[in-house]
Amino acid sequence: MVTYFKQAYLEIATFIFRALDTIKLEEIEKFVKTIEEIYRANKKILVVGVGRSGLVGRAFAMRLRHLGARSYVVGETITPSVEEGDLLVAISGSGSTQIVVAAAEAAKKMKAKVAAITTYYDSPLGRLADLVVFVPGRTKLASMDDYFARQILGIHEPLSPLGTLFEDTSMVVLDAVVAELMKRLGKNESELARRHANIEVP
C-alpha cells in the first residue's frame, strides 16, 4: 500500500497552484513577446538546462518546434551556432549552474538575447539575462545544521526532493507559455500535430 504518494502529489500540485500568485505576469508578457518577435523574424531559439531542468527545456523546445519555430537544444549535434538576434532560453533554479551560465555568457558575446528561467534574480544567470522569468522552487539541499534543527523541532523535509518543485513548476509555466503563443500566432492543435514526429524508434 502506497503511504506517501497522495501526500506528495498534493504537496507538488498545491505548490504549483500557489506559485501563480508569485509569478509576475509582466515577466511572462515580455517573455512571450520576445519569443513572438524571434519567431516572426525567423531567428533561432536555443534552450539550455542541465539534469531535470534540461528535460523541461527539451520539452519546451519540442513544443516550440511544433509551433513552427526554429528551436534547438544546446549540446545536440544538430544545434547550429548562436547568432546576433537569436534567443537563448536558460533554465536553472539556482541561476548558478556552470554549464548554463557559460552558455548564457557565450550567447551574450554573440549579441543574442538571454531569457532566464530561475528562482534567483541576483544570481550569475539572473544578472546576465536580458529578461528573467521568476519561477519559485526549492532548489537547494538543506544544510546539515538546518537538518538537525528541523528534526528537533519536528519539522520534516518536504516529500518533493531537491529541485522537484522548481522543475515541475517550470514545466507548467512553459506549457502555459506555449498555449499563449498558440493563440497569438494563430496556430491550432492540428497544425502542431502535422509537425509532430511521425517516425517512431522502438
Q: Residue 46: which CATH number?
A: 3.40.50.10490
Q: Is residue 200 part of a domain?
A: no
Mean of pLDDT over the chain: 89
Q: Strand pairing partners for 132? A: 116
Give residue 189's pLDDT.
83
Q: What is the pTM of this model?
A: 0.87
Residue 163's pLDDT band, with cuts at 50, 70 and 90, is: confident
Q: Is residue 5 part of a domain?
A: no
Please tell me whether residue 181 adopts helix, strand or coil conformation: helix
Q: Is residue 62 part of a domain?
A: yes
Residues recognised as catalytic: 167
Number of domains in the chain: 1
Give residue 127's pLDDT.
97
Q: Domain range spanning residue 45? A: 23-191
- What gap in Å lies between CA 93 and CA 106, rounded to an integer? 20
Q: Distance between terminal CA atoms of the chain?
A: 33
